[in-house]
Amino acid sequence: QVQLVESGGGLVQAGGSLRLSCAASGSIVSINAMGWYRQAPGNKRELVATITRIGSTNYADSMKGRFTISRENAKNTVYLQMNSLKPEDTAVYYCYAIIKTYSGNYYWNYWGQGTQVTVSS
């Protein structure tokens, strides 16, 4: 019923930039918070950034000043602008959204399939 589709990952050199996008589609009534997590090989999934419907943001400390999260509510889309990338930013990046659908009365977490970001040194 709901799909989150990410795009924008790829290979970049250290110091470079990438912009990730994640679009939610389906029988959506409302989207609350949206955000990004990442998972590197051998590591647990960690928070990157979140953004509320009204635009309040939260970042993991290691991303502050380098990453910027934003969203377009009319397009049900969240973005992650990543600058000054480092090799340690290499991971699969997952978007998530807290969504209420027409078939339920509650908000549920939905996840994208993940997009690979690789930063070479």
User: How many CB atoms neighbour CB 53 within 10 A?
Assistant: 13
1 pLDDT more than 90:
no
Q: What is the mean pLDDT of the chain?
A: 96
Please determine, for residue 104, whether its predicted confidence score (pLDDT) is greater than 90. no
Q: How many CA atoms lie within 13 A of 17 on its CB side?
A: 8
CA distance 120 to 58: 27
Asked if pLDDT for residue 82 goes beyond 90, the answer is yes
